[in-house]
Amino acid sequence: MPTRPMRPCKHRGCSALVPGGKTYCMQHACEEVKWKPDAVRGNRHARGYGSAWAKRRDRILLRDCGLCQVCRRTGRVSLATEVDHIVPKAQGGTDDDANLQSICHPCHATKTGGERR
Ligand SMILES: [Zn+2]
Ligand SMILES: [Zn+2]
């Protein structure tokens, strides 16, 4: 794979260099996905969880800029559509903000698939 030249992050005043093809550094990646709370409100399958969960879910997505935290750790930028329990509730995890993270569907599927084993 040819190496592309590094470019500065497009965020005003940010001097971080990002690989060619990318626009923002990980810090400002949320500006790239342009996440808005309403963007994910459409496909609510949080029904059954009640509105308290829906509110918490929105808050977590907002906190994480709507970015999948699992992808983010590996340097990828993808839009989160779900909120995941870091420690599964079945294993004593809580609904605490600290135990919740934004996650994209593929990562969530991988994670829950792995937990089942
Ligand atoms: Zn930046
Ligand atoms: Zn992901």
Structural domain boundaries in the chain: 1-34, 35-116
Instruction: State whether residue 115 is helix, strand or coil.
Output: helix
What pLDDT, on the 0 to 100 scale, is given for residue 21? 80
Beta bridge partners of 18: 7
Per residue in 46-80, pLDDT (tens digit) is 455 568 888 899 899 989 989 999 999 998 889 99
- Going from the Cα of 92 to the center of ligand 2, the distance in angstroms, rounded, reads 23
Distance 35 CA to ligand 2 centre (A): 15
Q: Is the pTM for the entire model greater than 0.85?
A: no
Cα distance between residue 24 and residue 89, in whole Å: 35
How close is the Cα of 70 to the center of ligand 2, in Å? Answer: 5
User: Ligand 2 centre and the CA of 45: distance in Å?
Assistant: 18
CA of 17 to the centre of ligand 1 (A): 8
Q: What is the rounded distance in angstroms from the CA atom of residue 25 to the CA atom of residue 16?
A: 6
Q: How many helices (H) and strands (E) does the chain have?
A: 5, 4
DSSP summary character for residue 87? S
Distance 56 CA to ligand 1 centre (A): 27
- Asked if residue 116 has pLDDT above 80, the reply is no
